[in-house]
Amino acid sequence: MMNKVLLIDFDDSFTYNLVGLLESLNIKVIVKHWTQVSHKLIDEYDNFILGPGPGHPNDYALLNPLMPLLVEKKVIGICLGHQILGIFLGLKLRRLESPLHGKSLPLSELGKEIVGNKIYAQFYNSWSLTSDIGSRVSGDAIYSYMDMIYYFQHFNWQGVQFHPESVGTTCPRPIMEWLIKNMYNVNYEKLPSHLWDL
């Protein structure tokens, strides 16, 4: 299981809440600013978290050439990180009519997977990945709420639009433990020769 992770910081006030959550699970966390990410740095780690952050994924286009290097790494994207991963997979991003800043939403499907009943998760986003598309993620695990994809898994990549580490999320530790477990349950014998050749 994961014992060390590189957390990519996108200038978000929740970054160190995530550090605290991960450290409570006995995971060593190394934090690097997104402008410090390089080919060499990616080679040094197996586990990554793309953290939350302000703005639109296009604001961080400096990372685009490095995304293919993460293909065979274990990656969790949170909020902005979820959107960055989703766009790389061909999902579409749309602006919400009303931003979900500080709102807790009931997530029944994901809650049943994690704790056996509904959970509440706190959202802080003005943009969302939409489920009204045909993409390379189709057929994998996707949960949506009102057309907003709030969770996806594509092999060893996962994204959550909400903040597991937020005070408005009902079960932070079980959520993070579940995400980590899922990354290690990937059946690599069934992977295509190249991860995205579906």
Residue 193: band (very low, low, confident or very high) from pLDDT cuts 50, 70, 90: very low
pLDDT tens by residue, 59-93: 999 999 999 999 989 999 999 999 999 999 888 89
Q: Which position among 165, 171, 189, 194 bears the catalytic label? A: 165
Q: Is residue 196 part of a domain?
A: no
Determine whether 79 is an active site residue.
Answer: yes
Q: Is residue 152 part of a domain?
A: yes
Q: Is residue 108 part of a domain?
A: yes
**Average of pLDDT values for 34-39?**
97
Q: Which position among 23, 82, 113, 163 bears the catalytic label? A: 163
Q: Which residues pair with 136 in a beta bridge?
A: none
Looking at residue 137, its pLDDT comes to 57
Residue 191: band (very low, low, confident or very high) from pLDDT cuts 50, 70, 90: very low
**Count: domains in the chain:** 1
d(CA 75, CA 50): 7
Q: Is residue 197 part of a domain?
A: no
Q: Is residue 173 part of a domain?
A: yes
Looking at residue 195, its pLDDT comes to 44
Higher pLDDT, 87 or 137: 87
Checking if the pLDDT of 197 tops 50, the result is no
Looking at residue 187, its pLDDT comes to 57
Q: Is residue 23 part of a domain?
A: yes
Determine whether 171 is an active site residue.
Answer: no
| Sign (positive or negative) of CA dihedral 89, 91, 93, 97 | negative
Q: Which position among 39, 79, 109, 177 bears the catalytic label? A: 79
d(CA 26, CA 37): 24
C-alpha separations of 140 from 30, 50, 68, 89, 156 in Å: 30, 20, 19, 12, 11
Report the CATH number that the domain containing residue 36 is assigned in CATH.
Answer: 3.40.50.880
Checking if the pLDDT of 49 tops 90, the result is yes
Residue 139: band (very low, low, confident or very high) from pLDDT cuts 50, 70, 90: very low
Residue 147: band (very low, low, confident or very high) from pLDDT cuts 50, 70, 90: confident
Determine whether 189 is an active site residue.
Answer: no
Q: Is residue 198 part of a domain?
A: no
Q: Is residue 167 part of a domain?
A: yes
Structural domain boundaries enclosing 112? 4-190
d(CA 182, CA 155): 9
State pTM to two decimals. Answer: 0.91
